[in-house]
Amino acid sequence: MGSLAVNLFGKKLKNPVMNASGTLGYGVEVEPLWAVETMGAYVTKGLSAAPHHGNPTPRVWEERCGMLNSIGLQNVGVHRFFSHYFPFFVERRCPVIVNFFGFSEEEYLSCARSIEPHDLVVALEMNLSCPNIKKGGIGFGKEASTVHAIVRSVREVTKIPLIAKLTPEVKNIVEIARAAYEGGADGLTLINTMPAAVVDVKERRVSLKGGFSGPLLKPVALRAVHECSQAVPIPIIGVGGTATFVDPFAMPKIIAELGSWLDASGLADISAIVGAAHG
Ligand X SMILES: Cc1cc2nc3c(=O)[nH]c(=O)nc-3n(C[C@H](O)[C@H](O)[C@H](O)COP(=O)(O)O)c2cc1C
CA pair distance 94, 42, nearest whole angstrom: 7
CB-based burial of residue 178 (10 Å sphere; 0-12 exposed, 13-18 middle, 19+ buried)? middle
Count of CB atoms within 10 A of residue 269's CB? 13
Cβ atoms of 160 and 124 within 8 Å: the answer is yes
Interface region with ligand X, contact rule CB under 6 A, candidates 77-85, 90-98, 212-220, 225-233: 212-220
Cβ atoms of 186 and 163 within 8 Å: the answer is yes
Interface region with ligand X, contact rule CB under 6 A, candidates 65-73, 150-158, 196-204, 258-266: 65-73
Interface residue with ligand X among 78, 89, 97, 99 (CB under 6 A) is: 99
Query: Catalytic site residue 130?
Result: yes
Q: Indicate the residue among 20 and 262 with the shorter CB distance to ligand X.
A: 20
Contact flag: residue 70 with ligand X (CB under 6 A)? no
Contact flag: residue 136 with ligand X (CB under 6 A)? no
Interface residue with ligand X among 20, 24, 151, 173 (CB under 6 A) is: 20
Q: Indicate the residue among 138 and 262 with the shorter CB distance to ligand X.
A: 138
The three-class DSSP label of residue 14 is coil
Interface region with ligand X, contact rule CB under 6 A, candidates 49-57, 116-124, 210-218, 257-265: 210-218
By C-alpha distance, which of 261, 161, 211 is closest to 20?
211
Binding positions for ligand X, 163-202, rule CB under 6 A = 165, 192-193
The three-class DSSP label of residue 276 is coil
Binding positions for ligand X, 223-262, rule CB under 6 A = 239-242
Q: Active site residue: 94, 111, 130, 228, which one?
A: 130
CB-based burial of residue 175 (10 Å sphere; 0-12 exposed, 13-18 middle, 19+ buried)? middle
Interface residue with ligand X among 4, 6, 13, 21 (CB under 6 A) is: 21
Q: Indicate the residue among 198 and 267 with the shorter CB distance to ligand X.
A: 198
CA pair distance 167, 182, nearest whole angstrom: 18
Count of CB atoms within 10 A of residue 85's CB? 19
**Residue numbers of the site for ligand X (CB under 6 A)?**
20-23, 45-46, 69, 71, 73, 99, 127, 130, 165, 192-193, 213-214, 217, 239-242
Residues noted as catalytic: 130
